[in-house]
Chains A and B, each alone.
Chain A
């Protein structure tokens, strides 16, 4: 595999806003972030509102100017570039928005053609490209419609067509699906997936919805208070989040470990022993683990958890309520038998006993 080349590289970037009231404190929106996005990545940036995601993504096309640090786009530092020289840079970076931001006074076709107008492309080339883009997003029949005649999902598809009209190598998606219903969200995410695969466009998407990351992203950075607190392959962060904030995000889409409250309920219902087993990728052979229980005459009930799949790899936690059968009791007592089995299972995976 060729070494991936970075298309966007942030080096120790900060953005500080002056105090909003006289004598007030400065607002540090971005606090010394370094981040590398490689060509072809779908890089998700997740965080609660106010974490600095929107500011971060706007630094990349210089809609917001950084206070310190370097911002390399295709190798060129754009952080200190004057507004005038940003035009060619921006033509190489498409952007879509939560509120779509279509021009209400223009038809769908004229919206899609707008970036090409700015790039002073000849009219016939423009028309051809607009038709091509509208076909790609499946809205050829809406070319003459106005944005206010479209549904939210259609508006975002127009937004995508517009963002890609000038054939940029990078697409910034600012909460692109947050204003859409779940079904439309999936349509738009599918489309963005095609943009990445068919056009090889590098996508940087910010969201507060973990399922967007789960569906689309290959890499993820978790932001909190202007800092990136965790980053990595989506699978790694999902299956083994290191930071409490990351774990909270992961838990919104992944049913893993039961919470304290849920545990209390489980304990009430199941008087016997309860254990949680971790499964990650192919490193744990589920069938063999369960075989150990069966061989020792221990039956179990899955009372909590689930197995998740991300990018074709699976991981998850299963919480089991164990019951020793008559055979196991005869063989040396229920607890002793269960202990022996758990010891064997521990050689294969992580076992947490819940008391």
Chain B
């Protein structure tokens, strides 16, 4: 217990780093997921920008990347991170890798959420002359907003999960903190403290997500 108290500054710093990583990956990964998801949705057969080659490639890519265990993906994508971010280690490198993995995971969720929009509504928009871009922003995304918010809430938990292994590539965060000061120093109380904070964080976001979604659903 005493060691936890002396570790408090480290603990809060780690919490801050988790928020930093999760915040940026939610933004970049979320955006990437939206693009991938829209791509899948729009290019599938019968959709407004139906394009079989693009759909097949995108679909294959998602199916390849998604099942790779993240810790292996992290190692495998390190050269790419080095190319894009300039470094293969540290918080920024892991933000890139998580964002990449999350884009594909979220892409599938976005695609599924968009499929809940009734095709008739899109047809109605087409019938008044709306083009694809307008349909995306005034029909697809607003109509699927409720499920999309829930989807992003869901992916938030996955991001927290992925951020926990940041320590392997020289990043920080609560995962790193728990392993470094708790697990390796045989101090379960420290680990549990990290677990507790993560639970609180996830609960808070889930609560917020549910409320926002309910507002979007208007029920």
Instruction: Give the interface of A toward B (CB within 8 A).
Output: 61, 63, 83-84, 86-91, 93-95, 97, 99, 101-106, 114-115, 117-119, 146, 148, 162, 166, 172
B124 near A118 with CB under 8 A, answer no
**Is residue B79 within 8 Å, beta carbon to beta carbon, of the partner chain?**
no
A101 near B142 with CB under 8 A, answer no
**Is residue B203 within 8 Å, beta carbon to beta carbon, of the partner chain?**
no
Which residues of chain A have C-beta atoms less than 8 A from B143's C-beta? 103-105
B124 near A101 with CB under 8 A, answer yes
Given contacts A95-B124, A97-B124, contact A103 B139 (CB under 8 A): yes
Given contacts A97-B120, A101-B118, A101-B120, contact A90 B129 (CB under 8 A): yes
Closest A residue to B121 using CB positions: A101
Which residues of chain A have C-beta atoms less than 8 A from B138's C-beta? 103, 114, 117
A166 CA / B129 CA spacing, docked (Å): 11
Closest B residue to A61 using CB positions: B127
A84 CA / B131 CA spacing, docked (Å): 8
A61 CA / B124 CA spacing, docked (Å): 11
Tell me, rounded to whole Å, the shortest Cβ–Cβ distance linking B159 to chain A.
Answer: 27
A172 CA / B123 CA spacing, docked (Å): 13
Which residues of chain A have C-beta atoms less than 8 A from B52's C-beta? none
Instruction: Give the interface of B toward A (CB within 8 A).
Output: 118, 120-121, 123-131, 134, 138-139, 142-143, 145, 216, 218
B127 CB contact (under 8 Å) in A83, A93, A148: A93
Residue among A63, A103, A162 with the most chain B CB within 10 A? A103
Which residues of chain B have C-beta atoms less than 8 A from A115's C-beta? 128-129
A347 CA / B40 CA spacing, docked (Å): 72
Which residues of chain A have C-beta atoms less than 8 A from B120's C-beta? 97, 99, 101
A91 CB contact (under 8 Å) in B128, B139, B145: B128
Shortest 9 CB-CB distances between A and B: which pairs? A87-B129, A115-B128, A101-B124, A105-B142, A90-B129, A101-B120, A95-B127, A118-B130, A101-B121
B218 near A118 with CB under 8 A, answer no
Which residues of chain A have C-beta atoms less than 8 A from B142's C-beta? 103, 105-106
A-B contact count (CB 8 A): 67
Which residues of chain B have C-beta atoms less than 8 A from A118's C-beta? 125, 128-130, 134
| A to B CB contacts below 8 Å, 26 in the list | A61-B127, A63-B127, A87-B129, A87-B131, A90-B129, A91-B129, A95-B124, A95-B127, A95-B128, A97-B120, A97-B123, A99-B120, A101-B121, A101-B123, A101-B124, A102-B124, A103-B121, A103-B138, A103-B143, A104-B121, A105-B142, A106-B142, A114-B128, A118-B134, A119-B129, A162-B128
Closest B residue to A105 using CB positions: B142
Which residues of chain B have C-beta atoms less than 8 A from A90's C-beta? 126-129
Which residues of chain A have C-beta atoms less than 8 A from B124's C-beta? 95, 97, 101-103, 162
B127 near A114 with CB under 8 A, answer no
A72 CA / B120 CA spacing, docked (Å): 25
Interface SS of chain A: helix, strand, loop or mixed?
Answer: mixed
B125 near A114 with CB under 8 A, answer yes
Which residues of chain A have C-beta atoms less than 8 A from B130's C-beta? 118
Which residues of chain B have C-beta atoms less than 8 A from A102's C-beta? 121, 124
Tell me, rounded to whole Å, the shortest Cβ–Cβ distance linking B135 to chain A.
Answer: 10
A86 near B125 with CB under 8 A, answer no
Which residues of chain B have C-beta atoms less than 8 A from A97's C-beta? 120, 123-124
A97 CA / B118 CA spacing, docked (Å): 13
Tell me, rounded to whole Å, the shortest Cβ–Cβ distance linking A121 to chain B.
Answer: 12
Which residues of chain A have C-beta atoms less than 8 A from B218's C-beta? 146, 148
Tell me, rounded to whole Å, the shortest Cβ–Cβ distance linking B141 to chain A.
Answer: 9
Which residues of chain B have C-beta atoms less than 8 A from A106's C-beta? 142
Which residues of chain B have C-beta atoms less than 8 A from A101's C-beta? 118, 120-121, 123-124
A88 near B129 with CB under 8 A, answer yes
Closest B residue to A86 using CB positions: B129
B123 CB contact (under 8 Å) in A63, A89, A91, A104: A63
A83 CA / B129 CA spacing, docked (Å): 9
Q: A103-B124, A106-B142 are in contact. List 10 more A-B contacts (CB 8 A).
A: A61-B127, A94-B128, A99-B120, A101-B121, A101-B124, A103-B125, A103-B139, A117-B138, A118-B129, A118-B130
Which residues of chain A have C-beta atoms less than 8 A from B139's C-beta? 103
Which residues of chain A have C-beta atoms less than 8 A from B121's C-beta? 101-104
Closest A residue to B134 using CB positions: A118
A94 CA / B128 CA spacing, docked (Å): 7
Closest B residue to A106 using CB positions: B142
A106 CA / B137 CA spacing, docked (Å): 13
Closest B residue to A84 using CB positions: B131
A166 CB contact (under 8 Å) in B123, B128, B134: B128
A95 CA / B130 CA spacing, docked (Å): 13
Which residues of chain A have C-beta atoms less than 8 A from B129's C-beta? 86-91, 115, 118-119
Tell me, rounded to whole Å, the shortest Cβ–Cβ distance linking A199 to chain B.
Answer: 17
Which residues of chain A have C-beta atoms less than 8 A from B131's C-beta? 83-84, 87
A83 CA / B133 CA spacing, docked (Å): 13
A63 near B118 with CB under 8 A, answer no
